Amino acid sequence: MSELPLHGLRVLELASVLAGPQVGQFLAELGADVLKLEAPAGDVTRTWRTAAEPADSTVTAYFSSANWGKRSRILDLTTAAGQQELHALAATADIVLTSYKPGDAEKLRADYATLAARNPRLIYGSITGYGPASPRSGYDAVLQAETGFMHLNAPGPGQLPQKMPVALLDVLTAHQLKEAVLLALYQRARTGHGSLLEVSLHDSALASLANQAATYLVTGHDPQPLGSGHPSIVPYGTVYRAADGTRLLLAVGSDGQFRQLCAVLARPGWATDARFSTNPARVAHRQELEELLRARLAEVPGAGLLAALAARAVPAGAVRTVGEALAQPAARPMQLPPTTAFPHKGLRTVAFRSSSWPVAAELPPPPELAQQ
């Protein structure tokens, strides 16, 4: 096996919170040397603690979610000395990651034009809330509200919208920038030139609306919230409670799967009922079918039901807590081992595997502020 594919790549991370640091950890997991350059107060997520966390560390659970494998250095870019140090570092760097509000990078002399003038091979990734022309700062929850996600995430029509419990738009924005950085590295290998890469939470959110956006664009009808149900597939996404209290979800995507579901539930007549025999019919008679399923599933023990569905290749699963999900054997390879300095596991950002390079067996832990 060869070394990690980004071994020798030098990354300067000026970004904070989640989206940019997620990209930094991704690059570190693939072998890059990532130096996190922090303002004197440090990344704000160093102070984002849950009530269960100790108050004597600059590495919070939130901070640790995106900062494994990095070194930390304090750099005050409001001073001439700090700017000079950044320019010296950027002159030999491969990638710079930033998340400044438009105009702030120029004030701090940390913008692409300034740094690329000294290093034409530099790849500069910039994350903003609404694009380079908007002065607004970007916050995940606000963008969830403004781009339709919260509206769709309500328990049902007429009920209050809810934000998702993960800063999902930050994570999706990080994926957009990861893709852009990898393309820029490919282009630089061919041309020798670096790139300015601009990614916004707003555009990343819209790109991620997928079938919900297409529904509006094709039909002119605004998609409405359905709780965890699916607008065009039934039964798909609704949570049921079995006789033993197991919470479970069905994801029946075809008529054949629905017939198998009916067989497992000892209700074969549902499969030939004109209201339910095809997916369009099931969508049209959603409420009637959901009521029948809810009553029948409440009579059946959950564990045995899930096993029977799996044997017939009917997509279904138990609703797990985060802890239960991470305790599954299949989740172990996605976890980074604890270290002496940070005696807690971490979560990998790299979820793919390659025959050409190994997975990083371990990473340095999230650094304390100014820990090299």
Q: Specify the higher pLDDT residue, 117 or 361.
A: 117
Options 94, 111, 170, 203, the catalytic residue: 170
- Evaluate if residue 77 carries a pLDDT over 90: yes
Q: How far, in Å, are 125, 173, 186, 333 from residue 179 at the CA level?
A: 11, 10, 11, 23
Residue 170 is a catalytic residue: yes
φ, ψ dihedrals at 265, nearest 5°: -85, 0
Burial 116-135 (b: 16+ CB within 10 A, else e): beebeebbbbbbbbbbeeee
- Evaluate if residue 2 carries a pLDDT over 70: no
Q: Which CATH class is domain 10-209+329-347?
A: alpha beta
- Evaluate if residue 8 carries a pLDDT over 80: yes
Q: Which amino acid is at 54?
A: P
231-266, pLDDT tens digit by residue? 999 999 999 999 999 999 999 999 999 999 999 999
pLDDT of residue 20: 97
325-342, pLDDT tens digit by residue? 999 999 999 999 999 999
- Evaluate if residue 58 carries a pLDDT over 50: yes
State the fold for domain 236-319: formyl-coa transferase, domain 3 (3.30.1540)
Percent with pLDDT over 70 in the chain: 99
Q: For all residues of the chain together, what is the average pLDDT?
A: 95
- Evaluate if residue 1 carries a pLDDT over 80: no
Question: DSSP secondary-structure letter at 266?
Answer: T
CA pseudo-torsion sign 331, 336, 339, 343 = negative
15-29, pLDDT tens digit by residue? 999 999 999 999 999
Domain range summary for the chain, segments of one domain joined by +: 10-209+329-347, 236-319
pTM equals 0.91
